[in-house]
Amino acid sequence: MRDDLHDGLLAAGVAVAVALAGIAVQLAALAVLLHGDGATATLLAYLGMQALAAAMLVMPLRRLLSRHVRTPLRSTSAYLFAAGALVPLGGLLLVLMTVLLGMALSAPRGGVRSGVRSRARAATHVARGMAFVALPEFVPGLEARVWNGTAGGEDPDRAAGRRRGEAANAAAADTRRLSALAALHAMPARSTSPLLRALLEDSVDDVRMLAYGMLEAAEQRLTRQILQAQDCLHALADGDPASRAAAHEHLAQLHWELVYQNLAQGDVRIHTLDQADRHAEAALQALSEAPGATTLYVRAADGSGVASPVPSLWQLRGRLALARRDPAAARAALQRATALGFPRERALPLLAEAAYLEGDFAAARGAMRSLGQAASLPPLPQLQPLLRYWTS
């Protein structure tokens, strides 16, 4: 203890001596500058003495800084040297005043005695069993490894989220990731395709191959349906307009599914959107040629009863226009759909999106408020945050 005190006093004495020498050199440099003849030799002598004084004052000033400001050593020393060398006398005085002000503001209340008592109490607490501990290590994807104890009756949405987390967790075992990825096969492709595309660049070969296979299977399933629907359409070349309209509508819906499920990307997506809109327009054209087109009802594409095709086709064209980032065409198509009997509550989210893309935020807010006030069709759960945002 006595040796530590002796070393500390010796270091403090050296710092004071160096500081006094640095101040003396600084004053001498100013004297040379003020009383010199302005020649080049005088200027060079001043600059050299100024740099020497700044270098000598770096060490004592750095000792006055707190530990968290003192480090890193090189950056702090470079800053102090620049302040002393570039601003004669004033730079170091400003640094010194700032250090003294910081020490005064950070001192504990009650002065030195209070600080000594607080440190003594802290040492007592440490002696009673308290000690410093290291920060815990963060493990990415840890929540995907936690089992919530609901094996039989786990919520489907929570289970799907857990499986997605396990499949994307690169720190998990490969077998567990593969089993979680295989369990996603029964989920809708729209909710899994973004994850599957991200896993195409995974470092594990089996994960990449399984993700590619699942995406390929979903795309081929829709492609086979499109080819079958095209064969049916060719067979109805001379058929009645209502049948041709139903075939075109089915093809439009299948092409839209490729986009909706995120299975078509890039130029293929643009081509698929164009094909879907072309078939939707052809279906509307065929219906216009049928007798009683405005009141015509045909069997729905999924076979679930009957549905009026005209309003739903205009609604589909509105969604296709939104996917192409054409809000004006989307708003026109959606307004046409609602005028023909399409439920306005179902068109309001799409109308709000079109208004938002056009920059008409007042119209977007009005559409969302109307959706929140609609009683015939409760808003979907995923729309609740948007409703709270736009109606608050």
For 178, residues 6+ apart whose C-beta sits below 8 A from its C-beta are 206, 207, 210
Q: How confident is the model at residue 301 (pLDDT cuts 50, 70, 90)?
A: very low
The token pair that represents 291 in the structure block: 């007798």
Residue 105: CB atoms within 10 A of its CB come to 7
Question: Measured between alpha carbons, how far is 217 from 224 in angstroms, rounded to an integer?
Answer: 11
Asked if the model's pLDDT at residue 114 lies above 70, the reply is no
On the 0-12 / 13-18 / 19+ scale of CB atoms within 10 A, 273 is buried
Flag whether 383 is in a domain. Answer: yes
Q: Which of 164, 153, 219, 216 is nearest to 187 (CA)?
A: 164
Highest-scoring range by mean pLDDT, 250-254, 299-303, 380-384: 250-254
Taking only the tens place, the pLDDT of each residue in 234-243 is 888 777 788 8
Report how many domains make up the chain.
2
Q: What is the mean pLDDT of the chain?
A: 74
> Are the CB atoms for 77 and 58 separated by under 8 Å?
yes
Determine the pLDDT at residue 304: 44
Flag whether 315 is in a domain. Answer: no
Flag whether 143 is in a domain. Answer: no
Question: Measured between alpha carbons, how far is 167 from 198 in angstroms, rounded to an integer?
Answer: 11
Flag whether 284 is in a domain. Answer: no
Asked if the model's pLDDT at residue 343 lies above 90, the reply is no
> Are the CB atoms for 257 and 222 separated by under 8 Å?
yes
Flag whether 162 is in a domain. Answer: no
Percent of the chain at pLDDT > 70 equals: 69
CA distances from 177 to 105, 141, 166, 170, 219 (A): 55, 12, 6, 8, 23
Flag whether 326 is in a domain. Answer: no
Region 118-127: mean pLDDT is 48
In the block, tokens 């000033």 appear at 61
Burial 328-355 (b: 16+ CB within 10 A, else e): ebbbbbbbbbbeeebebbbbbbbbbbbb
Q: Which of 319, 250, 242, 317 is nearest to 286 (CA)?
A: 242
Question: Measured between alpha carbons, how far is 391 from 43 in angstroms, rounded to an integer?
Answer: 70
Query: Of 73, 104, 135, at which residue does a domain stop?
Result: 104
Report the DSSP beta bridge partners of residue 158: none
Query: Of 104, 136, 166, at which residue does a domain stop?
Result: 104
Question: Measured between alpha carbons, how far is 196 from 212 in angstroms, rounded to an integer?
Answer: 7
Question: Measured between alpha carbons, how far is 280 from 336 in angstroms, rounded to an integer?
Answer: 14
Q: Does pTM surpass 0.85?
A: no
Residue 22: CB atoms within 10 A of its CB come to 22
Q: Give the type of residue at 336.
A: R
Query: Of 104, 128, 160, at which residue does a domain stop?
Result: 104
Domain with 57 in it: 2-104
Flag whether 188 is in a domain. Answer: no
Highest-scoring range by mean pLDDT, 21-30, 33-42, 119-128, 341-350: 341-350
Question: Measured between alpha carbons, how far is 59 from 61 in angstroms, rounded to an integer?
Answer: 6
Flag whether 44 is in a domain. Answer: yes
Is the Cα dihedral 211, 214, 218, 221 positive or negative?
A: positive
DSSP assignment of 277-346, as one string? HHHHHHHHHHHHHSTTGGG--EE-TTSSSEE-HHHHHHHHHHHHHHHTT-HHHHHHHHHHHHHTT--HHH
Determine the pLDDT at residue 155: 52
